Structure 1
Amino acid sequence: MAMRGLSWADRRRAIVLLILAAIGLSLLFFTYHTAFYRAPSCTDGIQNQGEAGIDCGGPCQYLCSTHVQPPTAQFVRPLANGGNRTDIIAYIDNPNPAAAAAGATYSVQLYGTDGALLAQKSGTVDLPPHSTVPVFMPNFYNGAGQAANAFITFDQASLKWFLSTTSPQTLPVSNIQVAASTSTPNVTATITNPTALPFYNVRVVVVVLGASSSSNNVIAASQTVVPSIPAQGTAPLTFTWSVPFAGTPVREEIFPIVPLAHP
């Protein structure tokens, strides 16, 4: 032993120094660990803690994109709405029965008959599980170009899928009446709030379909915002157009847009 040749006082001094050195190293390690160590999380940009991908799957609230199906468009239609105004209506399908995405960012491109890009705009939409939701963009284009085709694409980075098997609260719509034979047609209806809490500023989209074998024969679309719907009460809905319908309406589909609860 190196300490055998030392006096008792020197050995005691060496032991004290060793103890102090051990304490110092422990304090240094603790300081470093506290300052620089970060516990694994679902936002650290690293695949760890049993995650199926980087910050997704496993213990994380969000699902990995490889484990869900992307949204698809049933159709994207430009609609002439008087003068040079063109609206856009689209139906978006979320085929996932147990996955939802809130605030998904999309971009719509409108092309003319000559193939030129007339307008491009973006927006966001909630995608409840196993659902079809409308994307309505009024006054999308106002110009002399003749609209021909429209397309929609999603920003994949904005598709934050999370586990969900329930849709937003349903607000039933009844008493749908259509006045289509005038130069300024309208649709009226009643929306019901079956819950014990009021709803405020509810956006509602109506899609009017014409007589055709095609499932996307949309002849008109519009939206309104209901300022308030009392608890267990009702509110009137009115949708108006300044030009006649482009065909004979045979069916109306009305979509109350209720925000999707998300992590």
Structure 2
Amino acid sequence: MLTRIFNWWHSYSRSTRKRWYIGIVYGLLASAFIFSIYNAFFAVHPTCSDGVKNGAELDVDCGGTCSQLCLFQRVQKIRILEKAAIPTRPDYYDLYTVIQNPNPTSGIEDLRYTFEVFDGTGASVAKRSGRTFLLPNAEKYIVEPAVKLEEPPAQVNITFQPISWRDLTNYIQPEVFARNKEIHSTPSLEQSGMELTGLVNNKSDIDFQDIVITVIVREQFSDEVVAVNRTDMQTLRASEERRFVVNWPFTFSASSPQIEVQAETNVFDNDNFIRESGITVSDPFFSGQ
């Protein structure tokens, strides 16, 4: 094959081959010139302000060759303040953690977590997973009740799946809080227990579909956690105050109980904002994305 090409090429005169050489060189130079003109004046190059993740960027218009850091590079990590297993009934424990978001303008719409319990040998004996949300600059209680364990746990860990932070510029904290908290025993013929009552107040201008109520009861003088629990409240109107009740099907002792109640609402979920008379409420607590 190469021999045939060689013979074909040399079948032309020397002057013809020279003209071919010159034509090829000029063709290459012309192509290079046209490409440089296109690249300089017509080609679209990645920039750090084009609203597209391209080039060496780690996210849209940030990271890599851009001077602007991406949100996941700027945020501080979630802080785990407490985590433990609280004995309830024989062979059952309630798992809880207190975490903190130190970022004033960044939150997590879908926070997926896993509690893992270990025995004295370091072996994993139980796991419990769930999902929640985390508001900016917030301390959050997470409770997973009634985990069956054959022996007292030696260690409790909590881990999080890869986190997608959301930048919440001009975020406004919803004004939902609990007050008038009282705890007492509820003796009955079948089973004694404990009951916590209180009031949840919505001082925001928005009606909410769901309120999450999480409770931690401590012994005031030792700060030891003696009980945890959670419940949900459906529909809390603007400026409304409603009574809530949390029950435990067992008793616990606290000579001077310190009751911590966290009432939260998910501002990431548009379905959580009640719509009336055809009016749509969307993201009323923040404007940033």
Distance 2:267 2:160 in 1: 18
Aligned residues: 225
Distance 1:171 1:223 in 2: 16
How far did 1:252 drift? 0.8
Q: 1:77 aligns with which of 60, 80, 84?
A: 84
Question: What's 1:64 paired with?
Answer: 72
Distance 1:130 1:109 in 2: 26
Show the 5 A alignment for 1:157-196: 157-164=162-169, 166=171, 168-180=173-185, 183-196=192-205
Q: 2:234 aligns with which of 219, 227, 236?
A: 227
Question: What's 1:142 paired with?
Answer: 148
Task: Work out whether 1:53 is the aligned partner of 2:59.
Answer: no
How far did 1:100 drift? 2.1
Distance 2:258 2:155 in 1: 23
Question: What's 1:201 paired with?
Answer: 210
TM-score normalised by structure 1 residue count: 0.72
Task: Work out whether 1:250 is the aligned partner of 2:257.
Answer: yes
- The C-alpha deviation readout for 1:148-204, integer Å capped at 9, x for no partner, is 32111222x323242446354121212111115864111100111223432223221
How far did 1:118 drift? 1.4
- The C-alpha deviation readout for 1:179-238, integer Å capped at 9, x for no partner, is 158641111001112234322232211111113444xx2110111111222332121110
Task: Pick closer, same or farther for the CA change 1:68–1:200 going to 2, 3 Å.
Answer: same
Distance 2:222 2:168 in 1: 36
Mind listing any 5+ residue stretches in structure 2 that lack a counterpart?
1-37, 269-287
Question: What's 1:9 paired with?
Answer: none
Residue identity opposite 2:152 in structure 1: Q
Task: Pick closer, same or farther for the CA change 1:93–1:38 going to 2, 3 Å.
Answer: same
What SS does structure 2 have at the residue aligned with 1:64? helix
What SS does structure 1 have at the residue aligned with 2:139? strand
Residue identity opposite 2:155 in structure 1: N
Task: Pick closer, same or farther for the CA change 1:57–1:197 going to 2, 3 Å.
Answer: farther
Residue identity opposite 1:150 in structure 2: V
Show the 5 A alignment for 1:80-91: 80-91=87-98
Q: 1:98 aligns with which of 100, 105, 110?
A: 105
CA RMSD of aligned residues (A): 3.3
Distance 1:49 1:240 in 2: 46
Contact 2:51 2:60 in 1 (8 A): no
TM-score normalised by structure 2 residue count: 0.66
Between structures 1 and 2, the one with greater strand share: 1
Question: What percent of counterpart residues are identical?
Answer: 19
Residue identity opposite 2:157 in structure 1: F
Question: What's 1:108 paired with?
Answer: 115
Residue identity opposite 2:250 in structure 1: V
Once the two structures are overlaid, the 10-residue window that deviates more, 67-76 or 194-203, is 194-203
Q: 2:160 aligns with which of 135, 154, 162?
A: 154
Mind listing any 5+ residue stretches in structure 1 that lack a counterpart?
1-28
Show the 5 A alignment for 1:2-13: none
Distance 1:47 1:204 in 2: 41
Distance 1:223 1:230 in 2: 21
Task: Pick closer, same or farther for the CA change 1:128–1:253 going to 2, 3 Å.
Answer: same
How far did 1:133 drift? 0.6
Residue identity opposite 1:106 in structure 2: Y
Contact 1:129 1:164 in 2 (8 A): no
